[in-house]
A = this chain, B = another copy of it.
C-alpha cells in the first residue's frame, strides 16, 4: 500500500499544493484528485469538456474565473442555470453585486429595494433594467430557437454595451455553446415573459443538440459545479444517445464539486458510481466528487490550472446536423 504523505508547509505553487493534497485523505484528497483529472483531460486529443453550472456562482464572485476557463478552453460546452447567465450579463453591463451579510433584517432590505443572495446584495432596480432589456431582445426575435441560439442572440445584442468580459460574451467569442434548458426558471425567462410578443424557446431542441455533441465527440469529460438541471441534463445525454442508436459508453472523465449528499437520493448529490448503473458514466472513467462549496474549490482549482496547456479542443457547427471537429490548441 502507498502511504499518505502529510503535507509539508513550504513555498509551493497552487498546482503543487493540489498534487500533494491528492496524497492525503477525505475531501482534501478529492480536491487534489479533481485537479489531476482536469489536467489529464487537457492532455487528451479528442475530448469534449462539458461543464454544468448551478448555484449563484456569479453573485459569489466567480464570473472572471469561469470566463477565464472558457477563454483558455478548459471548458468546451456550458450548461447553466438561467440565473448565472443573468447575473453574468448584469455584471457585463457594469452593474454590481455587493458585499452583504446573512445577519440582516430582510424586511428592511425589501423596503430599500435590495435583493439578498445569502451574504451578497443586489439592487432590485438594476436587475429590473436587465429584465426589460432582455424582454426587448425576446420581442425582436421571431421563430423557434434552442436555448443555445437564444443565448447567442443575447450575446450579440449585448456585446456592444459590455463593460466587462463575461461568461456569455467569452463563450460567444470562443465558440463555446451555452445551453440553458430550464430557461423559463430564471430572470431570462422572466424577461421573455415580459415581452409583448416573443419567440419560442424549444428546449427539446437543446436535448437534441447536446446529445449530438456528446455522441459525436470521441470522448467526453464532465465538470459539474453543483447539481440541479445542468448536471442531470448533461448526464442524460448518454441515455438519449443510446436510445437514438449511437454507440456511446458513458462519459470518460467526471468531476463534481457539490454540497449535496448522496443519501437523500437526489440526482444533484448522487455518486458517479450510481451513474455507472445508468450508463451515464463509463465504468473505466476517472471520476471524483468533492464535497465542498464551489466558491472555495473554483478559485483554488483555477489557480492550479494556470499555465496548463490544452492539447486540442473541439469545434462545433450547428447546421442541419451538429458537427464536431478537433483543432490543436496553439
Contact = CB atoms under 8 A, between A and B. Distances in A.
A106 interface: yes
Interface residues of A, number: 124
A207 B182 contact: no
Given A56-B265, A181-B184, A204-B201, A293 B96 contact: no
Contacts of A102: 262-263
Nearest to A284: B107
How many copies make up the complex?
4
Nearest to A226: B266
A131 B243 contact: yes
A211 B193 CA distance: 10
A318 interface: no
A60 B200 contact: no
A321 interface: no
A1 B99 contact: yes
Contact of A60 (B9, B24, B131): B24
Given A14-B14, A264-B293, 19 more contacts: A1-B121, A17-B300, A21-B61, A25-B97, A25-B119, A26-B56, A28-B61, A55-B266, A56-B265, A102-B263, A109-B277, A115-B277, A181-B185, A185-B236, A201-B202, A226-B266, A228-B228, A264-B291, A292-B293
